[in-house]
Structure 1
Amino acid sequence: MGHRNEGTASAENEATDRLQRVTQAMARLKVDALPRNYELFHEALFGHDPALARDVTSLAPNPPQHVLDRIGLAYRLTGHCGLIEEKSCVEAARVLSGAAEEMSAAIREKQAFVSAMETLLRAIREDRDRGVEDLLADVDFLQSSAAELLRSESRAEQALKAGLDRLDTAERATRAAKAAILRDRLTGLPNRIAFANRLESLYESGALPRGTALLIADIDGFAAVNRDYGTEAGNRILKRLAAILRKSIKKNDFVARIGADEFAFLFADVDDAAARTIAGRIHDSVENGLVFATADGEDNGALGLSIGIALSDDAESAQHLTARAEQALAAAKVDPRAPIACFAPGVAGRRAA
């Protein structure tokens, strides 16, 4: 209990320290205390994207909000991508309002033309002695009204077409933003949000899903790589790993980056033996393909991979399945000679040992 309390206190202290550093950095630049700005500065200070860090640290004091938003959008931060959907809704309302005004104007022109026609016909019926000049004047008036009616309808049509084009552009931007929210910036893989959505969808029917395996993999010693060679070297390794993982799965399988050096896989229609075989294939692909060199160009060897497996057959929820896979991963990391572990009731006990 004491160890757990110490760990909790340490995590809370770290979170408080990070919040203070983010707040101080924003205060120095006089940045508004908006949630999306906190996210931007947190990623710049504690994320693993040197380019984002450079863009933020190069800002002059009092940066305009649109400049901050442009940076956030460029790096597909969740809070900033949400702005696109918000702006799309505003744009849609503006377009519909403009189209409604143009249509109302066209309807008024049409009503005025019809009224003029009715007035002229009534005058002709009531005054059969009207002269030719009067009739010609009335015809000229009708022609002028008809021309204005056509112009009004043309303006309404053009406004509607332009509005539809703007709505289409806004809709494409919204779809792109939503896709970006579900995509890891660095590797291009689905991210933790996409993984959670995919996992939850397995339980939507209310029945326990059968024959699905969740694998959670962790790169062994990756923190040391970042520490010894820098985050840019670590990022290159992660990109290379993502390419390897994509090639290791089939079209209907799923892989996501769910942590700094943690990845999750979902495989359908597999049993325990098949899941172990798949995990072994992924492990071998990474060990054989994920090598890196030191600054002097010498090969520093391959990075290892630990994998935890859990099957969905008796997992009551997405959270339950994830917890089992994480327990299995913890057991796999205990013994480097057995880097793959499948959840079983005794896994937690082996982890403690």
Structure 2
Amino acid sequence: MAAPTWVFSMFAFIGFACVTVPLPWHMESWNVGTCMYMIWTGLACLNLFINSVVWSHDVLDKAPVWCDISTRFMIGSAVAIPAASLCINRRLYHIASVSTVMKTRAQRRRDIMVDLSIGLGIPILEMVLQYVVQGHRFNIYEEVGCYPFTYNTPPAYPLVFAWPVAIGCVSAVYCALTIRELAQRRAQFKELLSANQNLSSGRYFRLMGLAGVEILGTVPIGCYSIYLNASAEQIEPWISWENVHSNFSRVRQYPSIVWRSSTLGENSIELSRWIVVVCALIFFAFFGFADEARKHYKIALTSAAKTLGVSTASWGNDLYVLPTALFCRFD
């Protein structure tokens, strides 16, 4: 039995908060891959949250321009999160394998441009390529909201469905190479990190854990998604561009009782949106309880306490005293 709509809406908003709150201090480290992972995941959660709230009880085409933007963003974010993970794995490998500790400004600039090309270029390219097999404008599902439509034809698999798996496989290669380099150069590890002032050994291994878990999820889930697309509907032959895009402006609307009547179809839709929330929660699990995060939480709570006129002199270093003190202020 599917969870009520409000449950997904709640978790989608929590996922948005989990990756948005830590973003400012992660941007200080200039780790493009991590920042893009947070931005893409956070915006994807927010997009899904808005859709689930606006279309929680109907399928009316009440915001067509929003749906055009929302569905195009869904197409991009489906490959953007694996692409951001690829950037993370690529950076970790380069740190573990470099022969010189210091990098020139030109080398750092080039690394940033390459990461942006992967983390932004691939999703934008995917948004363009999906239009080739976009059979009509979009669908609207009750409880889900706007949803992109990809015509189930053979070209759709290399153009759209296979990209997450391909990116995940490349990430897996980088991850394996990083582990090999670390095993061979353990004695030099601290020296290698010294060139990255904002990357401690703890953050390095947390990034490895995040990227590794993402790989373990991307490849099998991507393969399962391909299976669902191939099984839920009949694969239609490609006839022509005109055939695929005929009556392109139409919008199909599906009440929940209709789209949930197909187990494979329901699994495909629910998987595509819940996996984004899981990505956000996994990020928070790795970084939400780190020493750096607790330090920033304390700074924020201390600032809030001072604004409310609560003395912080007696709190010391105990972060968990802060909420209690704030509560007692109004007792």
TM over 0.5: no
What range is the shorter-chain TM-score in?
A: under 0.3
Under a length normalisation based on structure 1, what TM-score does the superposition of the two structures give?
0.24
Specify which structure has the higher proportion of helix. Answer: 2
Higher radius of gyration, 1 or 2? 1
TM-score (norm 2): 0.25
Structure having the larger proportion of residues in strand: 1
